[in-house]
């Protein structure tokens, strides 16, 4: 498995606008190969419908078959993402897929929102003892800053390296499954008057 893979093909970009396919890719945070049936079971989806999405992810180059195991008369195919970290070059997405830009960009937001709401609903419905387990688990950051191109590239590289450090950790030693989502984008040039005295907001809780 590669360390990084940059999405450049239009068909691959379009796959990232389909929630089911995004969910499939997110499932592999433990880097363990899975069959289409195992993926369907873990996501609680219809096996036949899920298998179609797996085949499409393979076709566009985001998933790859890494193993075949024979169990009796059944041949099991195991799949894995093409890389530990899959990145999208936003400029290419804007230039080649302007019409699909909204769907492609906001699908990760929507799937992340769904996961967050499920967690919050379970938290609210849980008893006091269970809620204690959530102490020091949530974190939220919102920051604005000024960067030149070199600083922007350095920030992205440092974040990628930091994520890579934790990406391969296994589900053991009392570890809890977390989801991390970040997006970096340039703000439209503001009115100079509006920009004066503009501060930075940052929160973590």
Q: Which domains, and CATH codes, for the chain?
A: 2-195 (1.10.10.10)
Query: What residues of the chain score a pLDDT lower than 70?
Result: 89-105, 128, 130, 189-205
Tokens for 120, please give them: 């919050």
Residue with tokens 């936003």: 90
Residue with tokens 């360390």: 3
pLDDT at residue 189 in the model: 66
pLDDT at residue 171 in the model: 78
8 A C-beta contact, residue 61 and residue 82: yes
pLDDT at residue 39 in the model: 93
Within 44-178, residue ranges assigned H as helices are 47-59, 90-96, 101-125, 128-132, 149-167
pTM: 0.54
Q: Is 31 helix (H, G, I), strand (E, B) or coil?
A: coil
pLDDT at residue 55 in the model: 94
pLDDT at residue 67 in the model: 93
């Amino acid at each position: 498995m590669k360390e990084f893979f940059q999405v450049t093909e239009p068909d691959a970009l379009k796959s990232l606008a389909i929630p089911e396919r995004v969910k499939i890719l997110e499932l592999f945070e433990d880097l363990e190969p899975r069959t289409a049936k195992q993926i369907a079971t873990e996501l609680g989806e219809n096996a036949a419908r899920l298998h179609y999405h797996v085949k499409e992810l393979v076709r566009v180059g985001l998933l790859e078959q890494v193993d075949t195991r024979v169990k009796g008369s059944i041949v099991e195919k195991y799949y894995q993402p093409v890389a530990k970290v899959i990145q999208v070059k936003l400029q290419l997405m804007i230039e080649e897929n302007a019409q699909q830009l909204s769907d492609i960009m906001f699908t990760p937001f929507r799937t992340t929102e769904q996961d967050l709401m499920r967690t919050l609903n379970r938290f609210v419905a849980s008893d006091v003892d269970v809620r204690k387990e959530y102490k020091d688990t949530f974190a939220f950051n919102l920051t604005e800053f000024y960067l030149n191109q070199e600083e922007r590239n350095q920030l992205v590289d440092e974040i990628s390296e930091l994520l890579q450090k934790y990406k391969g950790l296994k589900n053991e030693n009392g570890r809890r499954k977390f989801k991390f989502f970040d997006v970096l984008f340039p703000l439209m040039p503001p009115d100079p008057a509006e920009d004066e005295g503009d501060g930075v907001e940052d929160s973590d809780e």
